[in-house]
Amino acid sequence: MYSIHREGGVSIALSIIFFGLMYFIATFFKDSILYYLFIGTGLFIFLVILQFFRVPVRQTTINPNHIIAPADGKVVAIEEVVETEYFKGPRRQVSIFMSPINVHINFNPLSGIVSYFKYHPGKYLYAWDPKSSTDNERTTVVVKHDNGTEVLFRQIAGALARRICWYVNEGDKVTQGKEFGFIKFGSRVDVFLPLDAKVLVKIGDKPVGGETVIATLN
C-alpha cells in the first residue's frame, strides 16, 4: 500500500492538467491513431509523476551499530576520500544514485543529534559525475550519535533534480529510518563513514532506503 508524498501536490496537479489537455486535443482526432497517442502520452506522464511521489511503508530495525541506506537506488561508489567541508580528513564514502523510477524519500541512516547542517546552491551535473558531490546543489547533514560517532550524509541534485527538500536543522534529534528529506527526480545521496566502519554493500547493489544495512560501526 502506498500513499502520496506531500511534495508531489503541484507536480501531480500539473500532470492532471497536462492529461486534460492531451484528452482535449485527442477529441479532434477520433477514429485515428493520434487519438490514442495523445491520450496515451497524457496518461503515461500522469502515472510516471504519480509513482515518483509514492510513499512506501518501510520497517526500520533500529540498531546503534548499523548505518542504513538513506535512499533507494544503486550503489555507484565506495571509496576512501578526503571530506573537506566538515571532517577535513579521510572518510569512507558510499554513494547511492536514485533514478527517476526510484522512491526519492531520504531516510536518516542513524539516530542522534544534528550537529551540522548547510545548504549549498550549485550546478546540476549528472548525479553520477564525481564532481557532483562538491559542485552541485546539495545539502550536508552531520548526525552525532550518543556514542560520539559522527556520520555525514549529503543530498545532491542531479541534471533533472532541481529541488532539494529537507526537514532537519542543527540541534534536531533524529531517529534512524525516519524521513529527513526528499529530492525531486534523478539525484544522489553520499554517506561519509569513519574509516573503520565495515561496508556491507558493493558497487551495483540496490539498497532499500530505511531498511538495508549498508555499514556497521566499530
Q: Give catalytic residues, as residue numbers.
A: 187
How many helices (H) and strands (E) are present in the chain, helices listed first?
3, 15
The total of other beta-carbon atoms located within 10 Å of residue 110's CB is: 27
Residues in Cβ contact with 18 at an 8 Å cutoff, skipping those fewer than 6 apart: 42, 45, 46
Alpha helices in the chain (DSSP H): 9-26, 33-52, 132-135
**What DSSP assignment string belongs to 189-218?**
EEEEE-TT-EE---TT--PPTTT-EEEE--
DSSP conformational letter for 62: -
Helix/strand/coil for 181: strand
Cell numbers placing 147? 556514542
